[in-house]
Structure 1
Amino acid sequence: MRTLTQRAAMIFGVAFVLFAVMGFLLPGGMGMESHPDPAPDLLGMFPVNLLHNLVHLAFGVWGLLAARSLSASRGYHRGAAVIYVVLAILGFVAPTGFGLVPLGGMDPALHLVLAAGLGYFGFVHREAGARV
Structure 2
Amino acid sequence: MTTSDTHPDRTRSRKSPVQLAALLYAVVFLLVGVAGFIPGVTTGYDTMQFIGHHSEAMLLGIFQVSILHNIVHLLYGVLGVIMARTGGAARVFLRWGGAVYLLLWLYGLFIDKDSAANFVPLNSADDWLHLVLGVTMIALSFLPRHANRAEVAERRGRPRRR
Fold match (TM-score > 0.5) = yes
Number of paired residues?
A: 130
Alignment partner, residue 42 of structure 2? none
Which whole-Å CA distance do the structure 1 matches of 2:34 and 2:21 have between them?
20
Alignment partner, residue 121 of structure 2? 102
| Higher-Rg member (1/2) | 2
Which residues of structure 1 form unaligned runs of 5+?
none
Percent of pairs identical after alignment?
A: 33
Alignment partner, residue 78 of structure 1? 95
Which whole-Å CA distance do the structure 2 matches of 1:30 and 1:52 have between them?
10
The structural deviation recorded for 1:99 is 4.3
The question of 1:125 aligning with 2:131 is answered no
Question: Post-superposition, which runs of at least 4 consecutive aligned residues in structure 1 deviate over 6 A?
Answer: none
Alignment partner, residue 15 of structure 1? 28
Q: Give CA deviations for 1:7-48 in whole Å, capped at 9, x if unaligned.
A: 111111110011000102232475235327x52111111000
CA separation of 1:87 and 1:101: change in aligned 2, threshold 3 A:
same
* 2:99 and 2:134 in contact (8 A); partners too: yes
Which whole-Å CA distance do the structure 2 matches of 1:97 and 1:12 have between them?
29
Which whole-Å CA distance do the structure 1 matches of 2:95 and 2:139 have between them?
9
Q: Which of 61, 69, 72 does residue 55 from structure 1 map onto?
A: 72
Q: Which of 61, 66, 76 does residue 83 from structure 2 map onto?
A: 66
* 2:51 and 2:68 in contact (8 A); partners too: no
* 2:94 and 2:140 in contact (8 A); partners too: yes
TM-score, with structure 2 as normaliser: 0.72
CA separation of 1:6 and 1:102: change in aligned 2, threshold 3 A:
same
RMSD: 2.2
* 2:48 and 2:65 in contact (8 A); partners too: no
CA separation of 1:106 and 1:46: change in aligned 2, threshold 3 A:
same
CA separation of 1:45 and 1:73: change in aligned 2, threshold 3 A:
same
SS in 1 for 2:32: helix
Which residues of structure 2 form unaligned runs of 5+?
1-13, 40-44, 157-162
Which whole-Å CA distance do the structure 2 matches of 1:15 and 1:121 have between them?
15
Which whole-Å CA distance do the structure 2 matches of 1:31 and 1:65 have between them?
29
